[in-house]
């Protein structure tokens, strides 16, 4: 049976972000500011000028893509068409693709870094390990993977009112999230739980900085 728009996680996420595309950057700029800046800095400091960077779940481009595009050749991917439309206006020097990140295909060794900020917890968790394996293949040897992953066990469900829309979330706990990155072949540089208040609710992510070993295809 094919899931309808009310039960399919992809459609829930797509439609939700289409509806909140304009308000999401304003909200996001008020929450988790320090950690977003910290892990953006990892990319800015860890890559050479002109590096090829893939931004998964790029949203409107205002939160991460715009900063990266000042120094790097950035490709942004997002599921929500409205967000991609706004991103193209916000960061015209970047390349944007309206697509489901779990179904993307890039040639091996296409990128020097892949970023996924607050995006992977919108993916059904059983699809995250194969996605991370794909990310590993898309990276050049020595490439960086910087991402926020789940820190609490959640088999998947819909929050009825998240910023005014239904939104799907799913996650492994911190140990499971770290393990899937290692099993994809990455060397962990750091893996740190980051907690912050989101509209009065304490939310924890596991932030992972990982590197594709030199000599690995």
- Would 161 be classed as within a structural domain? yes
- Would 141 be classed as within a structural domain? yes
- Would 41 be classed as within a structural domain? yes
- Would 24 be classed as within a structural domain? yes
What whole-number distance in Å separates Cα of residue 214 and Cα of residue 217?
8
CATH assignment at residue 144: 3.40.50.150
pLDDT of residue 199: 87
CB-based contact 63:28 (threshold 8 Å): yes
Instruction: Please list the ranges in the chain whose pLDDT falls under 50.
Output: 1-4
pLDDT of residue 6: 63
Give whole-number Cα distances, 183 to 137, 147, 150, 187, in Å: 13, 16, 16, 10
Enclosing domain of residue 177: 9-211
- Would 160 be classed as within a structural domain? yes
pLDDT of residue 37: 96
pLDDT of residue 204: 97
Using a 10 angstrom Cβ sphere, with 0-12 exposed, 13-18 middle and 19 or more buried, the burial of residue 127 is middle
pLDDT of residue 1: 26
- Would 4 be classed as within a structural domain? no
pLDDT in tens, 115-144: 999 999 999 999 999 999 999 999 999 999
- Would 2 be classed as within a structural domain? no
Q: Which residues contact 70 (CB under 8 A, 6 or more apart)?
A: none
Nearest Cα to 120, choosing from 82, 84, 154? 154
54 phi/psi in degrees, rounded to 5: -105, 125
Domain count, the chain: 1
Positive/negative CA dihedral, 94, 96, 102, 103: negative
What whole-number distance in Å separates Cα of residue 39 and Cα of residue 97?
23
What whole-number distance in Å separates Cα of residue 114 and Cα of residue 16?
24
Q: What percent of the chain has pLDDT over 70?
A: 96
What whole-number distance in Å separates Cα of residue 193 and Cα of residue 1?
38
pLDDT of residue 7: 84
């Amino acid at each position: 049976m094919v899931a309808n728009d009310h039960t399919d996680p992809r459609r829930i996420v797509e439609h939700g972000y289409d509806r909140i595309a304009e308000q999401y950057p304003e909200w996001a700029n008020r929450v988790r500011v320090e950690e977003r800046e910290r892990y953006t800095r990892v990319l800015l400091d860890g890559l050479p000028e002109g590096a090829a960077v893939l931004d998964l779940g790029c949203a409107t481009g205002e939160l991460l893509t715009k900063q990266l595009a000042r120094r790097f050749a950035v490709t942004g991917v997002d599921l929500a068409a409205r967000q991609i439309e706004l991103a193209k206006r916000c960061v015209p020097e970047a390349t944007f693709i309206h697509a489901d990140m779990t179904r993307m295909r890039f040639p091996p060794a296409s990128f020097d870094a892949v970023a996924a900020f607050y995006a992977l917890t919108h993916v059904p968790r059983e699809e995250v390990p194969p996605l991370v394996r794909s990310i590993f293949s898309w990276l050049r040897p020595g490439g960086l993977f910087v991402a926020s992953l789940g820190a609490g066990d959640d088999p998947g469900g819909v929050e009825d009112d998240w910023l005014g829309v239904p939104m799907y979330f799913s996650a492994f706990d911190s140990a499971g999230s770290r393990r899937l990155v290692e099993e994809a072949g990455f060397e962990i540089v750091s893996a740190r739980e980051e907690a912050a208040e989101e509209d009065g609710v304490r939310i924890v992510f596991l932030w992972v900085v990982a590197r594709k070993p030199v000599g690995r295809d």
